[in-house]
Amino acid sequence: MSDISQTDTQRLDFGRRLRDLRSERGWTLSEVAQKSGLAISTISKVERGVMSLTYDRLALLASGLGVDMATFFSKDGQNFEPGSFAVARNGEFERQETENYVYEMLFPSLWHKSMTPMMGTLKAHDVLDFDAFVSHPGQEFLMVLDGTITVHLQGKDPVRLNEGDSIYFDSTRGHLYASAGDQDARILVVCTDTEIGEVLSGSSK
């Protein structure tokens, strides 16, 4: 399967899943837009398989629908239970490709994880490739697996990371990643659930 047909298939599958979730609730596009904060046109394009969403927009959509983000990628997932474990073999992931990123969503059938682990490829090579900074609740860990990247954090100087380097930051701060070399870089990213930050903040009071 070519990259183009793989991307088209992924978008169509995601769109059908979103439409099913909306239909189960009896909601209109307008109601989903109101609850998620996304534009009606954006939700419509996603349902039709015309576009894919970045992580921050996925988080908004999941929150608006009241579902775990993994629900978008698996109809028959199971909750992560205390004391349990799961193994992801090489190549076991759900693909989500946007204009600048290729996300490889790990453990897509495991719902209600405290962290969202992803591997991916950075197609963007310049901050100008992006329309705006990305931000979302929680905290974020990034490690460079292959290549060199530049991390842009809003209000801070850019941070250059080489293979094996990593960064940890508050993801409510606007941020962007871009490949700094000639080749698309490979990265590992782990985002925490919103609740983690809330629990930590509460424990410090």
> What range does the domain containing 188 cover?
114-203
CATH value at residue 175 = 2.60.120.10
Quick one: which of 13, 17, 72, 11 has its CA closest to 45? 11
In-domain check, residue 95:
no
Percentage of the chain modeled with pLDDT above 70: 92
Q: Are residues 141 and 60 in the same domain?
A: no
In-domain check, residue 86:
no
CA–CA gap between residue 98 and residue 74 (Å, rounded): 19
pLDDT at 75: 80
Mean pLDDT of the chain: 90
In-domain check, residue 132:
yes
In-domain check, residue 107:
no
Q: Are residues 122 and 189 in the same domain?
A: yes
pLDDT tens for each residue of 56-103:
999 999 999 999 999 998 888 899 999 999 999 999 999 999 989 999
CATH value at residue 44 = 1.10.260.40
In-domain check, residue 90:
no
Name the domain count of the chain.
2
Three-state DSSP class for residue 45: helix
Where does residue 117 fall: left (phi above 0), alpha (psi -120 to 50 degrees), or beta otherwise? beta
